Amino acid sequence: MIATSGGIHYKDLGANHHMWTDAYLEDDGRIHGSTRTATFTLFGGFTGGCRILVFDANMILLDVSPENTYGVDGKWIGTNDRTDYWEHYLDLGRVGGAVTLRPAQYWAPTWRHLGTVIEIGKQVAPAILALL
């Protein structure tokens, strides 16, 4: 193992939404770990994102992992707490001098209902225009 995040990193994203991530960088460039995503609201879910920042001994950024995103629903809606295991391969020529990994955890909204809203708008627009 070349580098580790040094344990689980917790991020309070506000609105009772939370993320926890740990990460490991192996000698072959494989970066892997787990991310727990949870909300403790009754109805409101969210999608969170995570990338791992790879630093050398002088805290110079060497590379950033691809983004992982995970969604959870409110407690009364569906799955509100999940843990996902992930892995990626980074260019060993870039990350060979790594000593520190730092998870960046953040809101990563998705617009999965936008298409539905547009279709509803197309259906009701003629009726609204007829009333005007």
What's the chain's average pLDDT? 93
Q: What share of the chain is helix, strand, coil (3-state, %, to 5)?
A: 15, 50, 35
The stretch 28-46 carries a mean pLDDT of 97
How high is the pLDDT of residue 113? 66
The CATH number, out of the four listed (2.60.40, 2.50.20, 3.40.50, 3.40.1350), of the domain defined by the range 3-131? 2.60.40
pTM over 0.85: no
Contacts for 40 with CB less than 8 Å, ≥ 6 apart: 16, 18, 75, 80
What does the domain layout of the chain look like in residue ranges?
Answer: 3-131
Q: Kindly report, residue by residue over 97-122, the tens digit of the pLDDT.
A: 999 999 999 999 887 666 777 777 78
* Nearest alpha-carbon partner for 28 in 87, 86, 96: 96
Tell me which of 83 and 132 has the higher pLDDT.
Answer: 83
Per-residue pLDDT for 18 more than 90? yes
What are the pLDDT digits (tens) for 70-102?
Answer: 999 999 999 999 999 999 999 999 999 999 999
Q: Which residue has the tokens 């809606």?
A: 77
pLDDT, position 102: 98
Q: What percent of the chain has pLDDT over 70?
A: 97
